[in-house]
Structure 1
Amino acid sequence: MGYEAKTERYDKMTYHKAGRTGLRLPAVSLGLWHQFGAAYSPENARSMWKGPYGNGGSKKHLTASLNQSLKRLGLDYVDLFYSHRPDPETPLEETMETLAGFVRQGKALYVGLSNYSPEETERAADLLQQLGVRLAIHQTEYSMFHRDPEKGLLDVLDKKGAGCIAFAPLAQGLLTTKYVSAIPETSRAKDANSPFLQAEHITERTVSKAQRLNLVAKERGQSLPQMALSWLLKDARMTSVLIGASGAQQIEENVQALQSADFSNEELSAIEFILSEKNEGE
């Protein structure tokens, strides 16, 4: 007997609009980077066939990539198509013209960017607007331990009416209790060849910050990962956070972050004080 989703599956989730578009996304989304991470690498995701046309943001590559994806998925269109990284060898005008073309052709309803700088994002949004297409969303790494989006990107997205979706919102596990004491033997950080979190990232100072943040979370009646997700979603510019999970229990725990999204000024000050402490060598 095939899988059949529950009819009430949409009833309890919180949804946010992607910027000033009509697209609504769940506030907590399930990402597959840690399960199928190799597919995201430049060597794999962008090299879909041999030869000079398997990489980058060219019209040739993007069009073939989308067509192949639609064929594999058995769909006529996708809701959202991303340009996952800027291509320095392709004019940005060509990449944006291609994305806009997908919308006009009905192959994608919305388009997004990922890993573009604030300056690149603003220019891309302007190019899309000139072509009659709105930038819907930008996917970027963002967490308590990685706050680069606060250095201009979030402001650009707000200005252009685009949403933000954060990947690695738990800093690949550093913002869970998983690494508070020691690196678990089953952790990917034990694998020197892993493209994910490495043991050298789990410093004494980072662990200390996580321990202290965990105390703040307990005072709020949350787990550390729940608080880390709530902390991101408190910003109205955030559309969604992409979580990874090894089981249903982790998903259920993370989704509960939506039940305690408000922070007092005292809590925010305490969190900021912990996060503002410099790591050694900084």
Structure 2
Amino acid sequence: MSYIPSNERYDSMVYNRCGQTGLKLPAVSLGLWHNFGGLDVYENGRAMVRRAFDLGITHFDLANNYGPPPGSAEENFGSILKADFAGYRDEMIISTKAGYLMWPGPYGDFGSRKYLISSLDQSLKRMELDYVDIFYHHRPDPNTPLEETMGALDHIVRQGKALYVGISNYGAERAKEALTILKRLGTPVVIHQPRYSMLDRGAENGLLDVLEEAGVGSIAYSPLYKGILTDRYLNGIPQDSRAAGKSVFLKPEELTEEVLGKVRKLNELAAQRGQKLSQMAIAWVLRGGRVTSALIGASKVSQIDDAVAGLSWLEFSQDELDAIEAILKG
């Protein structure tokens, strides 16, 4: 059956301006890091993309190495676009990245001009697109001059292969240097993608200040901290969970009694707010308007429903914020 998007898809989603640009992003964006690759069930990924769009999620975040295997998330997303979204491309923000190992040899990793331009060409072929909306450098390169990396991003925009550029995983000082270079070149960075959550607050060590001062947006990945900031691990480790060996990114030893004690208290506070813990965690990341969008992952449609439903209550009282701080400080 042909997919027809919901006519109400823009009625309730919150859209935030990305820094000082004209670009708006949904408060919740969908990342295709896991569960959309060649080893996953294609129709499940397709159902999640459809549902996300029906709920007003217009931003879909990829990278060259997403899968597994690397590249397969882009290939599958390209198939979904062709089958279901051929007439809706201009309603979508599609982003991809390059910066991690993608192919053997000296030209398939980090941040050289050779790698970034070649990688984006491959990504566009996999997704069968003429351009992406945002192209990111995925991580800093300690060996390539920053001028070369940023110059490649500038060149990509001037080629028409990306409308905007971003950076990801850059610390405050390195980010400030990158922003300065690209502004001078005439292709300003519009967005930074840091990891940020109640349990991982490194972005508060100057990075959010740098972005705010420069008028650059931000999109926080892992706002649920590997799924720990949900009700999933409150009563042990489910057999089908990441911590049960389903993912290399979450190990059982990370779920210490200290961490779980904090999570249980946060869950109680979320219940008092009339929310799930996952919903409160997303709302917390978005508090105060410093973060443009929370980037979620999902393995089933219901998780996307929950994330978007949580946007109906984004406000925190000062007492709630103080209570969260007290819990986190333990």
- Common topology (TM > 0.5): yes
* C-alpha distance in 2 between matches for 1:7 and 1:220: 30
* C-alpha distance in 1 between matches for 2:314 and 2:174: 31
* C-alpha distance in 2 between matches for 1:206 and 1:48: 34
* C-alpha distance in 2 between matches for 1:69 and 1:4: 26
Percent identical across equivalent pairs? 55
Mapping of residues 230-245 of structure 1, within 5 Å: 230-245=283-298
Do structure 1's residue 209 and structure 2's residue 254 form an aligned pair? Answer: no
C-alpha distance after superposition, 1:106-126 (max 9, x if no partner) = 111100010011111000000
What is the DSSP-based 3-state SS (H/G/I as helix, E as strand, rest coil) of the residue aligned with 2:280? helix
Amino acid across the alignment from 1:242: L
C-alpha distance after superposition, 1:73-125 (max 9, x if no partner) = 22221100000001112111000001011112211110001001111100000
* C-alpha distance in 2 between matches for 1:140 and 1:78: 20
* C-alpha distance in 2 between matches for 1:196 and 1:71: 29
Aligned residues: 275
Amino acid across the alignment from 2:117: T
Q: CA deviation at 1:36?
A: 5.1
Do structure 1's residue 8 and structure 2's residue 8 form an aligned pair? Answer: yes
C-alpha distance after superposition, 1:62-83 (max 9, x if no partner) = 0011111112222221100000
On the 8 A contact 2:224/2:282 being kept in 1, the answer is: yes
* C-alpha distance in 2 between matches for 1:171 and 1:111: 25
C-alpha distance after superposition, 1:134-172 (max 9, x if no partner) = 111111111100011011110011011111111110111
What is the DSSP-based 3-state SS (H/G/I as helix, E as strand, rest coil) of the residue aligned with 1:143? coil
* C-alpha distance in 2 between matches for 1:55 and 1:270: 43
* C-alpha distance in 2 between matches for 1:155 and 1:205: 30
Q: Which residue of structure 2 lines up, in the alignment, with residue 157 of structure 1?
A: 211
Q: Which residue of structure 1 lines up, in the alignment, with residue 309 of structure 2?
A: 256
Q: Quickly say closer, same or farther: Cα 1:190–1:220, change in 2 above 3 A.
A: same
Q: Which residue of structure 1 lines up, in the alignment, with residue 194 of structure 2?
A: 140
Q: CA deviation at 1:31?
A: 1.1
Show structure 1 runs of 5+ residues with no match: 278-282
What is the DSSP-based 3-state SS (H/G/I as helix, E as strand, rest coil) of the residue aligned with 1:257? helix
C-alpha distance after superposition, 1:218-257 (max 9, x if no partner) = 1111111111111111131111001112211111111112
C-alpha distance after superposition, 1:27-48 (max 9, x if no partner) = 001112232589349x957444
Q: CA deviation at 1:188?
A: 1.7
What is the DSSP-based 3-state SS (H/G/I as helix, E as strand, rest coil) of the residue aligned with 1:185? coil
Mapping of residues 85-164 of structure 1, within 5 Å: 85-164=139-218
What is the DSSP-based 3-state SS (H/G/I as helix, E as strand, rest coil) of the residue aligned with 1:171? coil
* C-alpha distance in 1 between matches for 2:299 and 2:104: 33
Structure 1 counterpart of 2:324, from 268, 271, 277: 271
Q: Which residue of structure 2 lines up, in the alignment, with residue 39 of structure 1?
A: 65
* C-alpha distance in 2 between matches for 1:101 and 1:75: 18
* C-alpha distance in 2 between matches for 1:206 and 1:23: 37
* C-alpha distance in 1 between matches for 2:8 and 2:128: 25
Structure 1 length normalisation: TM-score?
0.92
Do structure 1's residue 54 and structure 2's residue 54 form an aligned pair? Answer: no
